[in-house]
Chains A and B, each alone.
Chain A
């Protein structure tokens, strides 16, 4: 179910964000949703496509087992079949139900590995690097190319409740953004469902991943690794804007966050994983 939602209202959003009526698109959970949030990155599109392969397969397997069970329950109930057979072996059958699952798994595995390695390889055309640091219980975003950083705390008053932050992460559209993820107290996990990705932010490790958002809008996520007393209260709000607006935002942000927090993690010897 890919439902866009156009009821996002700029009212109540942080003043720093200068997007006007242009920002109509927002990705967040919707009532009675049964599918993924809309896919807005190449990764999320491939995850959705892979899911579109998996769901029919697993539904078919489940229905097949259900039909088999239903059939034997009706056909071989005591009243219909009072004299049970004594069959306990059928070599052909046993080979078949070993081989067919293997074939199904290979059909799954090939696109699965392709997707896995696609996600892992950060494209060469990185246009922006943002370092994300998880804390109990907020995120710090460090724009390393532009030498400023800021904290993003839950905005208790704003709607959507539990998803909006006082400062949003602003990213340019159609740009490969390298994300460097770490934490300085306990493990958190940074995710935006519409981006199709999630990685733990682990103290002492620096995980590299990437996003390239194809659509302007606001995207929400929540910390996804149990991190203590306010785990449900450290959301992620990403606003994706045109490149021009991004440049203007950077100029403003440099002034506004001139005395931003020092985000160098306490751990000086951060090991690079991967």
Chain B
């Protein structure tokens, strides 16, 4: 424990009242606001998914009247909220803001005021997105907002609201990405070389580059949508010489890196958690770093595997098959390195570790179905079916979300000064683990049987697995309510958390400061111990 981390408080000058948050330039307060924002997003997106599963529990019109437009407004809002208002703000704005400066021994982010505007841009973005379903017929386009359904197919202002929401969220993320890159490159404490940075810092650094390079392309694509919709341009209008498939190329040039933006921070979190609870340094640190870099780089050249059925030249399809399969290699390196970290360790099955092991296993399941879908020949059969829905929920609902919960339980004591209750956390894990598997595993069967995505009603023969899936989602809903209870219990009844509750396995710098971390982290430049990465 570093001696210099005491004697805070008197010099803190912590602002109080609403000004502390609205005017905040403090990475921890901004991080907290991001996490609260993500929690609200998660609840909103979760309620939508619950309503969709209620509609689909039985064939025929259900709670949404079997209406595809209403259903797909829910689908669109669910997807956009989970991506932009749950996973990204929680991982990047939340955990990233809270932990990155502490982990590299920096006093704060490089641009504290830009950090403030990054967060506050999300609020008008969220207002636009949360309001859009109530305007006209709502945005029933899916999160992909494909033209021409999003141009000629949706005359009302709802889709324009979605476009502006994405513009604001994108601008927010680009500013955040610049902030993280600058902070990590310039504000590391002496001795904190790039190859000594904790893997969570590496994950966020690579994620920030992905954001910086992909979001401008999304911004361009949706601006073209906007002018097609409102100003008579014809970028995506075939009747006037445009091409709807162009939109898909632009969207997925952003959209595919985006899925790594969602999952890399989860990789980073569990790369901190696993060594902590194995009491053993991470296995193959450099391999882990370069595997993440490889995933990030290759992630930019595989986008059209989302478009095999859209009619590309055959050799282009063959290229995208090959490039996509290559990603399995660095992903495999990560999976095996985590297991090798556990090998020979002294494993404690505390709650963050359970989420991490759950992530490794379920991400593997989602990964192997991803290898199946990479093959265009079989993707023709599976594209836009529930097989795809199952696949990406295994890597996101179980990958990214499990990473969020691993990080939450790992750091909550550091963030709020009170530790969660171990038994309550374990109940949360098991309810969720069982719930999401019952929800999503049967969707593989629905997919191979031929059930399309994004339909409000389905042929009667598909009733069985749909009911199972819906029942699973209700269990996941119970798990979410239980999490709210755990959260309340931790904040109000949790035991005082020690500076380092996890013992010698937790050796990154945030564990050298008091819990909760003081408003100003370091009063002296911290000393970097021999190794964060095991060299």
Tell me if chain B binds chain A.
yes
Binding site for B on A (CB under 8 A): 28-37, 44, 46-47, 50-51, 54, 58, 61-62, 65-66, 68-69, 72-73, 76-78, 81-90, 93-94, 97-98, 101-102, 105, 108-109, 112-113, 115-120, 136, 160-163, 185-187, 189, 191, 193, 196-200, 202-205, 207, 220-233, 266-267, 269-271, 273-274
CB atoms of A197 and B239 under 8 A apart? no
Query: A73 touches which one: B137, B333, B337, B357 (CB < 8 A)?
Result: B357
User: What residues of B have a CB within 8 angstroms of the CB of A233 in the complex?
Assistant: 68, 457
User: What residues of A have a CB within 8 angstroms of the CB of B534 in the complex?
Assistant: 88
Across the interface, name the chain B residue whose C-beta is closest to A44: B381
Q: List 24 A-B contacts (CB under 8 A).
A: A30-B449, A31-B461, A32-B465, A34-B445, A37-B450, A62-B365, A65-B360, A88-B282, A105-B326, A112-B378, A116-B318, A116-B375, A160-B461, A162-B457, A185-B152, A185-B153, A186-B149, A186-B153, A187-B146, A191-B450, A222-B450, A228-B149, A231-B68, A267-B239
User: What residues of A have a CB within 8 angstroms of the CB of B321 in the complex?
Assistant: 109, 112-113, 116
A77-B349, A161-B460 are contacts. A224–B377 as well, Cβ < 8 Å?
Answer: no
Q: Does B463 contact A (CB under 8 A)?
A: yes
Q: How far is the CA of A221 from the CA of B172 in the complex (A)?
A: 42
CB atoms of B380 and A47 under 8 A apart? yes
Q: How far is the CA of A74 from the CA of B263 in the complex (A)?
A: 28
A187-B148, A224-B385, A226-B146 are contacts. A203–B451 as well, Cβ < 8 Å?
Answer: no
User: What residues of B have a CB within 8 angstroms of the CB of A30 in the complex?
Assistant: 449, 461
**Minimum Cβ distance to chain A for residue B71 (Å):** 8
CB atoms of B333 and A50 under 8 A apart? no
CB atoms of B381 and A193 under 8 A apart? yes
Residue of B284, B380, B451, B463 with highest tally of chain A CB at under 10 A: B380
Across the interface, name the chain A residue whose C-beta is closest to B141: A226
Q: Does B426 contact A (CB under 8 A)?
A: no
User: What residues of A have a CB within 8 angstroms of the CB of B68 in the complex?
Assistant: 228-233
User: What residues of B have a CB within 8 angstroms of the CB of A199 in the complex?
Assistant: 309, 311, 380
Q: Does B310 contact A (CB under 8 A)?
A: yes
User: What residues of B have a CB within 8 angstroms of the CB of A197 in the complex?
Assistant: 380-381
**Minimum Cβ distance to chain A for residue B88 (Å):** 23
User: What residues of B have a CB within 8 angstroms of the CB of A88 in the complex?
Assistant: 281-285, 534-535
Instruction: Return the CB mask of B306-318 against A: 1 if under 8 Å, else 0.
Output: 0001111110011
Q: Does B325 contact A (CB under 8 A)?
A: yes
User: What residues of B have a CB within 8 angstroms of the CB of A73 in the complex?
Assistant: 342, 347, 349, 357
Across the interface, name the chain B residue whose C-beta is closest to A85: B344
User: What residues of B have a CB within 8 angstroms of the CB of A29 in the complex?
Assistant: 449-451, 459, 461-462
User: What residues of B have a CB within 8 angstroms of the CB of A270 in the complex?
Assistant: 238
User: What residues of A have a CB within 8 angstroms of the CB of B287 in the complex?
Assistant: 94
CB atoms of A274 and B449 under 8 A apart? no
User: What residues of B have a CB within 8 angstroms of the CB of A232 in the complex?
Assistant: 66, 68, 452, 455-458
A115-B377, A186-B153 are contacts. A87–B461 as well, Cβ < 8 Å?
Answer: no
Q: Does B194 contact A (CB under 8 A)?
A: no
CB atoms of B378 and A51 under 8 A apart? yes
Instruction: Return the CB mask of B279-298 against A: 1 if under 8 Å, else 0.
Output: 11111110100000000000
A88-B283, A97-B333, A185-B153 are contacts. A231–B454 as well, Cβ < 8 Å?
Answer: yes
User: What residues of B have a CB within 8 angstroms of the CB of A226 in the complex?
Assistant: 72, 140-142, 146, 149, 453-454
Query: B69 touches which one: A46, A120, A229, A273 (CB < 8 A)?
Result: A229
CB atoms of A116 and B342 under 8 A apart? no
Within B431-462, the residues touching A (CB, 8 Å) are 445, 448-462
Within B332-352, the residues touching A (CB, 8 Å) are 332-333, 335-337, 339-340, 342-349
User: What residues of B have a CB within 8 angstroms of the CB of A109 in the complex?
Assistant: 321-322, 325
CB atoms of A225 and B384 under 8 A apart? yes
Q: Does B58 contact A (CB under 8 A)?
A: no
User: What residues of A have a CB within 8 angstroms of the CB of B499 in the complex?
Assistant: none
Q: How far is the CA of A90 from the CA of B283 in the complex (A)?
A: 9
CB atoms of B345 and A85 under 8 A apart? yes
Q: How far is the CA of A37 from the CA of B380 in the complex (A)?
A: 14
CB atoms of A68 and B339 under 8 A apart? yes
Q: How far is the CA of A155 from the CA of B311 in the complex (A)?
A: 30
Q: Does B59 contact A (CB under 8 A)?
A: yes
**Minimum Cβ distance to chain B for residue A15 (Å):** 23
A108-B371, A228-B69, A266-B239 are contacts. A87–B445 as well, Cβ < 8 Å?
Answer: no
User: What residues of B have a CB within 8 angstroms of the CB of A273 in the complex?
Assistant: 311-313
Q: Does B244 contact A (CB under 8 A)?
A: yes
CB atoms of B345 and A84 under 8 A apart? yes
CB atoms of B152 and A81 under 8 A apart? no
Query: B344 touches which one: A58, A87, A108 (CB < 8 A)?
Result: A87
User: What residues of A have a CB within 8 angstroms of the CB of B189 in the complex?
Assistant: none
Q: Does B376 contact A (CB under 8 A)?
A: yes
Query: A224 touches which one: B137, B282, B365, B384 (CB < 8 A)?
Result: B384
**Minimum Cβ distance to chain A for residue B452 (Å):** 4
Q: Does B364 contact A (CB under 8 A)?
A: yes
Q: How far is the CA of A33 from the CA of B448 in the complex (A)?
A: 9
Query: A86 touches which one: B148, B149, B280, B371 (CB < 8 A)?
Result: B280
A50-B375, A90-B340, A108-B371 are contacts. A274–B346 as well, Cβ < 8 Å?
Answer: no
- Pairs of residues from A and B, 3 with the lowest C-beta to C-beta distance, nearest first: A204-B238, A115-B377, A193-B450
CB atoms of B279 and A94 under 8 A apart? no
